[in-house]
Amino acid sequence: SVWTQESTCHLIETNIRDQEELEGKKVPQYPCLWVNVSAVGRWAMLYHTEDTRDQNQQCSYIPGSLENYQVARADVEKVRTNFHKHRIFYCFSTTRENETTVLYRRLYGPQTLLFSLFWPTFLLTGGLLIIAMVKINQSLSILAAQR
């Protein structure tokens, strides 16, 4: 992830965009929360996660349930209300000069990398130990049978 620098974000404005408000562009059929913040001394567009930015660059937050429009709208309203309650919060920015996007939460941080490397290494080591114990057991059985 390029968003490695932890910053303090100050909320500038939020806006819920419905499909009618985004005419002229191919728009998904769900409400879209758009959030502008001030981070690292400059204006920036806030995205919930890396995946949010990849799914739709016009939306800061995409609701989890997209089947029911009213439920999705209520979810977006709740997130918007939380941003207005806590106008100053931590976010992640990049060290690139011209980057005008920040993340609220990183999906792929150092913990994820550590966790994704730990379990395979742990399982491989455990498997090798089991194989070594079986080989030692076979060797001891052969030695015991020869006596």
**For 43-55, what is each residue's pLDDT tens digit?**
888 899 888 888 8
pLDDT of 4 strictly over 70: yes
pTM of the model: 0.68
Tell me whether residue 125 is exposed, middle or buried, using C-beta atoms within 10 angstroms of its C-beta: 0 to 12, 13 to 18, 19 or more.
exposed
99 and 123 part of one domain:
no
Residues 55, 103: Cα–Cα separation, whole Å: 14
pLDDT of 18 strictly over 80: no
pLDDT in the model for residue 80: 92
pLDDT of 21 strictly over 60: no
- Structural domain span for residue 136: 114-147
Banded pLDDT at 130 (limits 50, 70, 90): very high
pLDDT tens column, 80-97: 999 899 999 898 888 777
Q: Which amino acid is at 26?
A: K
9 and 51 part of one domain:
yes
8 A C-beta contact, residue 56 and residue 15: no
- Neighbour count for residue 19 (Cβ, 10 Å): 14
pLDDT of 75 strictly over 60: yes
When pLDDT is averaged across residues 12-37 and rounded to a whole number, the result is: 72
77 and 141 part of one domain:
no
95 and 137 part of one domain:
no
pLDDT in the model for residue 84: 92
78 and 123 part of one domain:
no
When pLDDT is averaged across residues 101-115 and rounded to a whole number, the result is: 82
When pLDDT is averaged across residues 67-76 and rounded to a whole number, the result is: 87
18 and 44 part of one domain:
yes
pLDDT in the model for residue 27: 53
101 and 138 part of one domain:
no
Domain count, the chain: 2
Residues 113, 52: Cα–Cα separation, whole Å: 20
pLDDT in the model for residue 19: 61
145 and 83 part of one domain:
no
pLDDT of 64 strictly over 90: no
